[in-house]
Structure formats: C-alpha cells, structure tokens
Amino acid sequence: MNLASATCIGGADQVELHVLVPHAEAARHALAISQLAVSREREVVVLEVDDRPGVLADLTRRVASAGVDLDLVYVATQNRLVFGAADLAGLKTALEQA
C-alpha cells in the first residue's frame, strides 16, 4: 500500500488512522489482511501547490469566501494540500481556479 499521507489521532481506548492513498481497493485489502477495520471512507480534494508562504492562507480564504466550511485540512507528500468538507461540490468549485 502506497501512502501519500497519514495521521493518527485518539487515545488509549480508540485510535483513528487517516490515510490518503492513490488506490483505495489496495489499501482496503492491505488493512484487511492486517486485521484493521475501515470505519469509513470519504472523498477529499487534493491540490498540488507551490512551496511558498501564504499558499494555505490564500486557499482557505477562497473556500471561506465561497461559504464552505472545511472539516479537514492537512499536508500530503510532494507539496500537496488535502481539503475535506461536507459540501464537497462547493469545495471543488471554490478551489477550481487554484
């Protein structure tokens, strides 16, 4: 399984692992044979960005101006930013020009 990004949150009782992968089916299989359960999947928007100050601020302002509430933002490999929102269509529209 090729991970583009991963983060782990939680405590001793329950841990949630978030992974960004290019091929979901391969990831599901690798996790299953490792006896790890997939509790949910979601589509996100991944943007390749320039490595310069202010890029994230510019993009999040654009999203806010469109009235979209972000519920997920993190950095992936190769200068990419990952965005998630309940309004995925609105998020995609807001970030189209990026």
73 and 87 both lie in a single domain: yes
pLDDT at residue number 3: 85
6 and 27 both lie in a single domain: yes
27 and 59 both lie in a single domain: no
Number of compact structural domains in the chain: 2
Q: Does residue 71 surpass a pLDDT of 90?
A: yes
Q: Could you read off the pLDDT of 35-68 as tens digits, one per residue?
A: 888 888 899 999 999 999 999 999 999 999 999 9
Kindly state the average pLDDT of the residues 68-96: 95
Q: Does residue 81 surpass a pLDDT of 80?
A: yes
24 and 62 both lie in a single domain: no
- The better pLDDT of the pair 27, 94 is held by 94
> Which of 41, 57, 73 is at the close of a domain?
41
Contact criterion met (CB below 8 Å) for 5 and 76: yes
52 and 97 both lie in a single domain: yes
1 and 26 both lie in a single domain: yes
Q: Could you read off the pLDDT of 4-21 as tens digits, one per residue?
A: 888 888 888 888 888 899
| DSSP-based helix, strand, coil % in the chain, nearest 5 | 30, 30, 40
Q: Which backbone phi and psi does 51 adopt, to 5 degrees?
A: -90, 85
Kindly state the average pLDDT of the residues 61-77: 95
62 and 92 both lie in a single domain: yes
Range of the domain at 73: 44-98
Give this prediction's pTM: 0.82
